[in-house]
Amino acid sequence: MITIYLKQHGKVIRNAEVEMLEELGYDDVLWIDLQAPTMKEEKAVEDYLDIDLLSRREAAEIESSSKYAEGENSIVANSNFFAPRDEGDGFVLDPVSFVISEGLLVTTRDGGRKAEGESRTFTEMAKRLQINPKAYPTGFHLFVSILEVRIDLDADFVEAESRKISLLSNQMGDEVRSNEQLIKHINSAQENMMMIREGIFDRQRVLSGILRSEHFPNDVYPRLQLMMRDVSSLIAHTDFSFERLDYLKDTVMGLINIEQNKITKIFTVASVFFMPATLIASIYGMNVVLPAQQLGGLNSFWVTVLAMIIASGLTLGFFRYKKWL
């Protein structure tokens, strides 16, 4: 799907007819948004601007050099926008490609059903563009504003994950099973924070490339400095969340070890408690003549039982005296 944002009489008008590109000049177009485009739509945009659009695989490259590059007639930037999964916990990464040529912006994205975060970014940007079109005179301003919206959304995701981490902290209990389940949730939260952190680092590399550029209007550089500070604070927040999750995991593991030690202690005390009685029963069960056996009949049995009870009682008293129970 293609969406063309036209500049007409101080307003921005949306249009989805790819054929109209043949009749438009560069000054008439502000933004061309390609969402899961067809080959026909991609070819029309490439012919219109005389550029080559990046494929999804090329846009997904993670090398620093591929995140931002400047050519003779165009600027190319790639960024991974993470978005919540449709089902279950976690995020997915969706690459977005930006091309600025002849002063207008071209964005290429999948925009599938799983790209909720990506869609929210571009939907919010479209609303801002309709409300105040004069604030976006060129594709450069629009590109910086999209990154600005995306960073705000990144902050929302970081705050949401921080709230989940707080809930995990409150769920720590004494039951071993619940703690084992809690470890799984902590591992999932760590994976989510790792993906968020990678996405924020991705934004930082793109912003660094823009700050080194001399092609952007001078009025956007103060905004870029503020955005860099926001990104740095988000990275610091994710680092703190990682440390907090590590602390929670260590605490849960400690609780599990304590619970297991309690169980081991119970079996150890039980085995020591019955050890004297077992020894007595073993001795008097041997096929030899012993004093208790000389008593004859039933009396020898009760003498043996009494000796076992006394030995076990002395063992129990010793454990309590040493405060081992």
Both 22 and 135 in one domain: the answer is: yes
Both 248 and 316 in one domain: the answer is: no
Kindly report, residue by residue over 170-199, the tens digit of the pLDDT. 776 545 456 677 888 888 888 888 888 888
- Specify the DSSP class assigned to residue 213: -
Both 89 and 121 in one domain: the answer is: yes
Both 109 and 239 in one domain: the answer is: yes
Both 159 and 288 in one domain: the answer is: no
Is 267 buried (19+), middle (13-18) or exposed (0-12) by CB count in 10 A? Answer: exposed
Both 249 and 266 in one domain: the answer is: no
Percent of the chain whose pLDDT exceeds 70: 82
CA torsion through residues 145, 151, 156, 157, sign = positive
Identify whether the C-beta of residue 135 lies closer than 8 Å to the C-beta of residue 210. Answer: no
Kindly report, residue by residue over 84-140, the tens digit of the pLDDT. 776 667 777 778 888 888 888 888 887 654 444 457 888 888 888 888 888 888 889
Question: 241, 257, 273: which is the final residue of a domain?
Answer: 257
Q: Considering only residues 289 and 323, tell me which one the structure prediction assigns the higher pLDDT.
A: 323
pTM score, whole prediction: 0.73
Question: 220, 236, 257: which is the final residue of a domain?
Answer: 257
The mean pLDDT of the chain is: 78
Rg (CA), the chain: 35
Cβ atoms within 10 Å, residue 207 = 23
Kindly report, residue by residue over 40-88, the tens digit of the pLDDT. 888 888 787 777 776 555 555 544 456 788 777 788 888 888 777 766 6
Both 48 and 66 in one domain: the answer is: yes
The CATH number assigned to the domain holding 247 equals: 3.30.460.20
Residue 33 has pLDDT above 80, yes or no: yes
User: How many separate domains does the chain show?
Assistant: 2
**pLDDT at position 88, please?**
61
The range of the structural domain enclosing residue 15 comes to 2-257
